[in-house]
Chain A
Amino acid sequence: MVVPVPALTAASGQPGSAERRLRELLAANRSVVSELALPGVLRRIVEAARAIAGARYAALGVIGPDGMLEQFIHSGMDDATVERIGHLPTGRGVLGALIEQPAPIRLHAISDDPRSVGFPSGHPPMKSFLGVPVRSRGEVFGNLYLAERVDGSDFSADDEELVVALAASAGVAIENARLYEESRRRQEWLRASAEISRDLLRPGLGDQVLLRIADAMLRLTDADVVTLDFPEGHDEAAAAPEAPEDVTHLVIEVARGVETDDLLGTAYLSAPSLAGTAMRERRPAVFDGTGPAEPDLTPVIADGIWGPAVACPLVGETDVRGAVVLARRVGSHPFSPADVETAEQLALHAAVALELADGRRDEERVAMLEERHRIARDLHDHVIQRIFATELTLEAANGRASDPAVREALGRAVEDLDETIRRIRTTIFELQDIRSSLDPRAVLLDVVTSSTAGLGFEPALRLEGPVATVLDPALLHDVTAVLREGLTNVVKHSRCTHVDVHVTVTPASVTVEVIDDGPPFTLPATASPTGEATGDATGGSGAGHRHGLENLACRARARHGECTLTTDERGTVLTWTVPQTR
Chain B
Amino acid sequence: MDRATDQVTEPITVFLLDDHEIVRRGLIDLLESHDGFRVVGEAGTAAEALRRIPTLAPQVALLDARLPDGSGIDVCRDVQVSSPGTRCLILTSYDDDEALFAAVMAGASGYLLKQIRGPSLTEAVEHVAAGHSLIDPALVERLLERIRRREGGADTEHGHDGRPGHARHDGRSGPWAGPDSLTDREQEILDLIAEGLTNRQIGVRLHLAEKTVKNYVSGLLAKLGFERRTQAAVYGAQHGGEPVDGHGHR
Residues in A lying within 8 Å of B, measured CB to CB? 238, 240, 369-370, 373, 377, 380-381, 384-386, 388-393, 395-396, 399-400, 414-415, 417-418, 421-422, 425, 429, 432-439, 441, 463-470, 472, 505, 507, 580, 582
Contacts and interface: CB of A to CB of B under 8 A. Distances in A.
Given A393-B29, A400-B33, A370 B172 contact: yes
Contacts of B85: none
A418 B115 contact: yes
B114 A388 contact: yes
Interface stretch (B4-12, B46-54, B73-81, B149-157): B149-157
Contact residues on B (Cβ < 8 Å of other chain), bracket: 35 or more
Contacts of A582: 138
A381 B234 contact: yes
A93 to B, nearest CB: 69
B26 A390 contact: yes
A238 B29 CA distance: 54
B146 A414 contact: no
Contact of B174 (A392, A393, A434, A505): A434
Nearest to B91: A388
Given A392-B23, A392-B30, A414 B117 contact: yes
Interface stretch (B92-100, B185-193, B216-224): B92-100
Contacts of B149: 438
B36 to A, nearest CB: 12
A463 B114 contact: no
B20 interface: yes
Contacts of A466: 96-97, 99-100, 139, 143
Contacts of A437: 156-157, 160
Interface in B167-183: 170, 172-174, 176-177
B206 interface: no
Q: What are the 4 A-B residue pairs with the smallest beta carbon separation, nearest first?
A: A392-B26, A396-B29, A507-B136, A388-B114
A342 to B, nearest CB: 38
B115 A421 contact: yes
Contact of A395 (B30, B136, B142, B150): B30
B23 A388 contact: yes
A393 B230 contact: no
B114 A438 contact: no
A21 to B, nearest CB: 83
B172 A438 contact: no
Nearest to B18: A385
A438 B143 CA distance: 14
A305 B160 CA distance: 49
Contact of A373 (B26, B96, B101, B172): B172
- Specify the main secondary structure of chain A where it touches its partner: helix
B139 A507 contact: yes
Interface string B113-146: 0111110000000000000000010110011011
Contact of B116 (A370, A414, A434, A469): A414
A439 B237 contact: no
Contacts of A415: 117
B174 to A, nearest CB: 4
* Most interface-central of B23, B34, B145 (chain A CB within 10 A): B23
Contacts of A436: 157, 176-177
27 contacts: A370-B250, A377-B233, A381-B234, A385-B22, A385-B23, A385-B93, A390-B26, A392-B23, A392-B25, A392-B116, A393-B25, A396-B33, A414-B116, A414-B117, A429-B174, A432-B172, A434-B173, A437-B160, A439-B174, A441-B95, A466-B143, A467-B96, A467-B97, A469-B101, A507-B139, A580-B138, A582-B138
Contacts of B234: 377, 381
A469 to B, nearest CB: 5
Contacts of B116: 388, 391-392, 395, 414, 417-418
B66 interface: yes
Contacts of B26: 388-393, 396
* Most interface-central of B95, B143, B149, B157 (chain A CB within 10 A): B95
A236 B15 CA distance: 57
B248 to A, nearest CB: 13
B162 interface: yes
Contacts of A240: 162
Contacts of B244: none
Given A369-B170, A438-B150, A469-B143, A389 B23 contact: yes
A377 B95 contact: no
